[in-house]
Amino acid sequence: MENSLINTLQMHFALLQNQPLTGGIVAKNLRITDNGSGELSLYGDFTITLKVLDLTTNGAPNLNSLMTFTQQVISNKLRGGGYKSGVIIHKYNSLQKKFDRTKTWTYSIRYNFNITVNVTQINMLSQLKGNDFVLAVVDSIGYQHTDQYGRRQSSAGLTQGDGGPATVSYSEWQKNKYFGVHEFFHTLGLDDIEDSSKKNRLMYHLGDNAGQIVSDTERGNMLNFLMTNIGDITQKNYANINLNTVTRLRTFLNNSTNGFKYNKAKFR
Amino acid sequence: MVSNTIKLSLGSLLVLLFFNCKNAEKRDKNVIKISTDTCRYYRYDAGQIISNLGCKNCHLSLNIEKIDDRGSTTFRGLAAMDSLKLIDYAFTKKHKGWYSKSGTLKSAKMDTLSKCEIKGVIRYIKDFGRDIPVAAQ
């Protein structure tokens, strides 16, 4: 709770000084409309920044190319807005322009977000802030999981869930350029798919993946994640709360179960 | 004398065979019971139920404190609850009746979830607190 308060104060201070905000999600010109028939439309200009931290032992000569590709695909997949029906949230009072926390309601939501995506390389840990999104590039990942068919699977990338740090093995990323996007979409709240009838989906994570489709539902879920607390839409500007990114990345990398191999000298 | 001993031995053998057969039958029943349990956990399916119910709209799923700055229990807070308490909290008391058949959120149809689906949802929530990573292959 304290972190959230500090983050809010920092955000307002930066806005007052007209400073560019750091952070995973920065949104401006936010507004909401209610059509009175159970549909809310959300508007805003969003900037999403994913910081790429190269932790490989021998360097990653193709990193720029992979980052450019990743930036383009993320932009493309999030473009075009989204729609989610059956969203249960607090009731919106359009006269008072705020959500009434004593009542709940089921809405359909239209997301009309203009989204700019930045994928930038950082070289030092000090360039990573608490509310950043991060993709750490490592030498290899030893973590194995069992799929729903009972088969053991190795890992090309590993992410710690909603808002969490993502990692990708550099050699595997070179083999499949979409791995960076796949991992980042875990950060934006999507789950892996193992249903063999959905091999053409980007989030299908088994070896016989045959496509990169993101469904409308998945895009709606990611846009929903960008405005995790819908009450924030009633502010004019917004930056995501503190995710404790540095601490969580350190814990994630040091967890021996995950089996990361990387240049520890770069992580300081 | 010898014939009595033979009769006694054969009788004992018969009794032993009878009980042996009865035990074997019991084991077979157990095997059948285990093999018919079809409830399996699929993370993706459980996540879809969570998404459809809208759990994360109120219980924010960012890995932050157990209570957010609005005073609501976060997803991490839910994950920290005991499973039985969680079932009672989510599926029995049904959020002050909002999700019951006559509640304001009856369209979410929480009442229609099967026991297997409820088990899956509970595991999904508990796994969130265990920080189990998601992998690309």
CB contact under 8 A, B108 and A88: yes
Given a cut of 90, is residue A192 above it in pLDDT? yes
CB contact under 8 A, A179 and B136: yes
Chain A CB contacts of B132 under 8 Å are 161
Given a cut of 80, is residue A108 above it in pLDDT? yes
Task: Quote the minimal CA–CA distance from B92 to chain A in Å.
Answer: 19
| Residue B37 to residue B25: CA distance in whole angstroms | 20
Which of A178, A183, A229 would you mutate first to test chain B, the one with the most B CBs within 10 A? A229
Q: At what angle do helices A63-78 and A216-226 cross, to 10 degrees?
A: 100
Average of per-residue pLDDT across B47-75:
82
The pair of structure tokens assigned to A136 is 């750490």
Distances (CA, A) of A150 to A147, A194, B41, B42, B53: 5, 11, 12, 12, 29
The dihedral through the CA atoms of B104, B105, B107, B111 has a sign that is negative
- SS3 state of residue A264: helix
A69/B contact by beta carbon, under 8 A? no
In this complex, the residue of B44, B69, B136 whose CB is nearest that of residue A182 is B136
Tell me how crowded residue A147 is: count the other CB atoms within 10 A of its CB: 15
The reported pLDDT for the residue numbered B113 is 81
What proportion of chain B, given as a percentage, has pLDDT over 90?
12
CATH number for the domain spanning A128: value is 3.40.390.10
Given a cut of 90, is residue B61 above it in pLDDT? no
Task: Quote the minimal CA–CA distance from B23 to chain A in Å.
Answer: 32
Rounded to whole angstroms, the maximal C-alpha distance in chain B is 93
Tokens 């350190």, residue located: A250
The reported pLDDT for the residue numbered A115 is 96
The reported pLDDT for the residue numbered A4 is 47
The reported pLDDT for the residue numbered A2 is 47
pLDDT, tens digit (0-9, with 9 covering 90-100), for A30-70: 999 999 999 999 999 999 999 999 999 999 999 999 999 99
A168/B contact by beta carbon, under 8 A? yes
A226/B contact by beta carbon, under 8 A? no
Nearest residue to B94 (alpha-carbon basis) of B64, B118, B76: B118
The reported pLDDT for the residue numbered A1 is 43
Q: What is the pTM of this model?
A: 0.83
Nearest chain A residue (CA) to B52: A86
Tell me how crowded residue A89 is: count the other CB atoms within 10 A of its CB: 18
Going by pLDDT thresholds of 50, 70 and 90, the confidence category of residue A242 is confident
Chain A CB contacts of B63 under 8 Å are 160-164, 243-244, 248
Average of per-residue pLDDT across A168-188:
96
Given a cut of 70, is residue A97 above it in pLDDT? yes
Evaluate whether ipTM surpasses 0.90.
Answer: no
The reported pLDDT for the residue numbered A175 is 95
The reported pLDDT for the residue numbered B107 is 61
Segment among A43-57, A75-89, B13-27 with least mean pLDDT: B13-27
CB contact under 8 A, B137 and A205: yes
Based on the structure, what is the number of domains in chain A?
1
Name, in order, each residue with C-beta under 8 angstroms of B4's C-beta and a sequence gap of 6 or more.
Answer: none
Query: Which residues, in sequence order, are bridge partners of residue A84?
Result: A109
Given a cut of 60, is residue A11 above it in pLDDT? no
pLDDT, tens digit (0-9, with 9 covering 90-100), for B70-128: 778 889 899 999 988 888 877 766 676 666 666 666 666 666 788 899 899 999 999 88
Domains and CATH numbers, chain B: 43-127 (1.10.760)
Quote the domain boundaries for residue A260: 5-267
| Residue A192 to residue B124: CA distance in whole angstroms | 13
Chain B CB contacts of A83 under 8 Å are none
First-to-last CA distance in chain A? 28
What backbone torsions phi and psi does residue A233 show, to the nearest 5 degrees?
A: -65, -20
The pair of structure tokens assigned to A209 is 């993946």
